[in-house]
Amino acid sequence: MGSPNRVWTAWLFVACAHWCFCSMARNKMFVEPSHVVYEELQSVSPALVNDELKPRYHFRPPRNWLNDPNGPMYYKGIYHFFYQYNPYGSVWGNIVWAHSISTDLINWKALAPAIYPSEPFDIYGCWSGSATVLPGDKPVILYTGVDPEQRQVQNIAFPANLSDPYLREWTKPDYNPVIPPELGVNASAFRDPTTAWYAPNKHWTLVVGSKRDRRGMAILYRSKDFVHWIKAKHPLHSFKDIGMWECPDFFPVAAKGRQGLETSEYGDGVKHVLKVSLDATRYEYYTVGKYYHHMDKYVPDVTSSDDHTGLRYDYGNFYASKTFYDPAKKRRILWGWANESDSAYTDKDKGWAGVQAIPRSLWLDDSGRQLVQWPIEEFETLRDKHIIVKNKNIPSGGFLEVQDIQTAQADVEVTFDVASLEKAEVFDPYYVDDAQAFCAKKTAETKGGVGPFGLLVLASANREERTAVFFRIFKAQSKYMVLMCHDPTRSSKRESTYKPTFAGFVDIDITKTRKISLRSLIDHSVVESFGGGGKTCITSRVYPSVAIGENAHLFVFNNGAQDVKVSELNAWEITEPEMNDEIIY
C-alpha cells in the first residue's frame, strides 16, 4: 500500500487510470447529482463539431474534460496549477489531478498527472483540494479521496523530491486519510479542503465544505503537525437552507490597497473573505467579514449577504474557484472554472469541455463592501495588433463597427461617457435581488433610456448573430442603479446550447463618475467581461454558428433613447500562448 518514492512512468499512469476507469464503471459510481458519470460517453473518439470554437488563450488541456482548479501555488520560481481532469473523455469521470507549470501564469507546460486513484483512501476518486506551503518552503497538498465505502475523506500528499522545482512526483503516505468523516459528519457531503493558515493559537487551521440537512457548513479542523487533525466544536461559518458548500475558500485581504496577503496574515487592517460554491445552484457566493481568531469564528459584515442575493466573483459560468497568494508579486490570484453551456452529448462530440477563466488579481474595493478583480498583468504580453477609437458619439439606435482587426480572439477595453442621466428608466425594485431575471426581461433588444449600450461581440456581419455585453442605467428612489448584462440569446442558431442571460449590478456612483468602463476578453467560445474596472464580472460560453474565426465582428451599440459617447476604445488581437501541448516527463 502507499506509493513512497514511486517513479512516475507513462505506462503506469495509463495502466492505473485504465484500471481505475474499469473499476468505477463496474461499480457504477454515482455519488452526488453533480458528479454523474456518463458511462456511455467515456472513452469515445471525438468527432469534432467545429474546432474553431475551441478557446485558444484560456487555460485548457489539449483535449477532454476539465473542471475545478486545484492546489495553485508558487514554488522555486514556478507557478503550479492542478485541475480536475478526465484523461479518457470530454465528460466528467475518471478524475485525476492533472498538473501544469508556468513562469508567467499564461504559457503552460503539462506534466504527468500528480494525483490519481491508487490507494484504498482514494480509489473511487481524487477530488478537489488545496496546496499549503509550509515553513522552509515545503509544499503539501490536501485533497478529497473517495474510498470503497463511497465516503469522502481528506488525504495528504507530499512532493517526493523537493529539489525538483517541477514537483513531478507526489507521495501519499500510508497513514491517510488524515481527516476521515467522523460521527455526525455527512460522509457523502464532506469535501474540498482549503489551504491551511497558521492561526495565532499556534495551530494549522483549515475548513472542509459540507452540509447538515440543508445547512451549508465550513467544518473547521486544527492541527499542530499538519498530520493529526482535530475537528473543532463549531464550524468556521454555516448558513441555513442553502445546501452543500463545495470548494470553500477563506483568505485575508488588506483593508486598504491592492497588495495581496499570505493566507496566515491577520491583525489590524486585515479583513477576511469566505467564498462557497453552492452545489444546489452551481453558482458561488462570497462574503467580506471579520475573523475572530480566539473563537475561530467568521462573521460576515452586515453589507455582505450569505444567501443567493449575495456577492459573486462572477455572475456567469464560473464555479469551484480558488485563490492563492503569489509571493513573487505579492498579490492574491483567483482561478475559476468556466464550464461549457453545451449538453454532455455535444461535449462528447467536441472532444473538449471546460476552461479556466484568465487568472485574476483580486483586492478589496475602497468601499470595503466588495472585491475588485482584474486579469493578471502578464496577460497583456499576449496583446498584438492594436486599434484605438476615440471620441465617437453613438446616437440612440446607432452602431459602430470596430474594423481592421480580427475579434474572435481579442481583448477590448472601452470607456463610455454618460453625459446626462435625464432619460434613465425608473428602477423596478422587484428586481433588486435578481439582476439576472431583470436582464432576461430587459434584453439588449428592449429599448431603454440610458442604455442598453455596450458591445456586440462574436457578431455576424449583419448582427443577426451576436452576444451583447452592455449596461443599462436606472433611476431608483435615492440613487442610480447600473445593471451590467451578458445577453447571449442570439449568440448562435444552434438550438442545443444553453443561452442564459447573466447580470449583476455595478456599485459605482454614476452621478459622480459620468463614465463607465468595460473590458471583454473574447476567445472563440468564451466571453469574459469586467465592468466598472472589475467591480462586476460576467463570463459566458457561447457557440456561434456564423460568427466564427474571420467571420466574427465587433460592434459598439446603443439601444437607449439618449446618445452615449465612446471616449476611448482599445482593441487588441491576442496571440496564442503555449497551452499544455505535450506532456513533459
| Minimum separation from the CB atom of position 551 to ligand DQQ (A) | 34
Query: What single DSSP character describes residue 427?
Result: P
Q: Is 68 a catalytic residue?
A: yes
- CB nearer to ligand DQQ: pick between 128 and 132: 128
Strand partners, 170: 159
Measured in residues, the chain has a length of 585
Residues of this chain, 96-155, that bind ligand DQQ according to CB under 6 A:
127-128, 144
Rounded to whole angstroms, how far apart are CA atoms 234 and 171? 32
- CB nearer to ligand DQQ: pick between 248 and 351: 248
**Spatial CA neighbour of 498 closest among 382, 347, 373:** 347
Rounded to whole angstroms, how far apart are CA atoms 307 and 69? 24
- CB nearer to ligand DQQ: pick between 144 and 520: 144
DSSP, collapsed to helix, strand or coil, labels residue 441 as helix
Rounded to whole angstroms, how far apart are CA atoms 374 and 331? 12
| Minimum separation from the CB atom of position 255 to ligand DQQ (A) | 31
* Per rule CB under 6 A, count of chain residues that contact ligand DQQ: 14
Out of 58, 59, 68, 356, the residue judged to bind ligand DQQ by CB under 6 A:
68
Q: Which residue is nearest to ligand DQQ (CB)?
A: 127
Rounded to whole angstroms, how far apart are CA atoms 471 and 444? 9
Rounded to whole angstroms, how far apart are CA atoms 159 and 351? 32
- CB nearer to ligand DQQ: pick between 192 and 306: 192
Strand partners, 571: 387, 412
Out of 247, 333, 357, 358, the residue judged to bind ligand DQQ by CB under 6 A:
247
Sequence-ordered strand ranges (E) for 52-203: 64-75, 78-86, 96-102, 108-115, 126-134, 138-146, 152-159, 170-171, 190-191, 197-198
- CB nearer to ligand DQQ: pick between 180 and 327: 180
| Minimum separation from the CB atom of position 279 to ligand DQQ (A) | 7
Out of 67, 356, 436, 492, the residue judged to bind ligand DQQ by CB under 6 A:
67
- CB nearer to ligand DQQ: pick between 319 and 324: 319
Q: By rule CB under 6 A, what string of x and - marks binding of each residue 309-338 to ligand DQQ?
A: ----------xx------------------
Residue 307 contacts by C-beta under 8 Å, 6 or more apart in sequence?
239, 242, 285
| Minimum separation from the CB atom of position 97 to ligand DQQ (A) | 10
**Spatial CA neighbour of 566 closest among 419, 379, 444:** 419
What is the 3-class SS of 331-359, one letter each residue? EEEEEEEECCCCCHHHHHHHCEECEECCC
Q: Does 246 bind ligand DQQ (CB under 6 A)?
A: yes
Q: Which of 51, 68, 404, 509 is catalytic?
A: 68
Which triple of cell numbers denotes residue 342?
Answer: 453545451
- CB nearer to ligand DQQ: pick between 235 and 533: 235
| Minimum separation from the CB atom of position 11 to ligand DQQ (A) | 25
| Minimum separation from the CB atom of position 344 to ligand DQQ (A) | 15
| Minimum separation from the CB atom of position 308 to ligand DQQ (A) | 18
Other Cβ atoms within 10 Å of 270 Cβ, number: 15
Residues of this chain, 185-224, that bind ligand DQQ according to CB under 6 A:
191-192
Which residues are known catalytic residues?
68
Site for ligand DQQ, rule CB under 6 A? 35, 67-68, 84, 95, 127-128, 144, 191-192, 246-247, 319-320
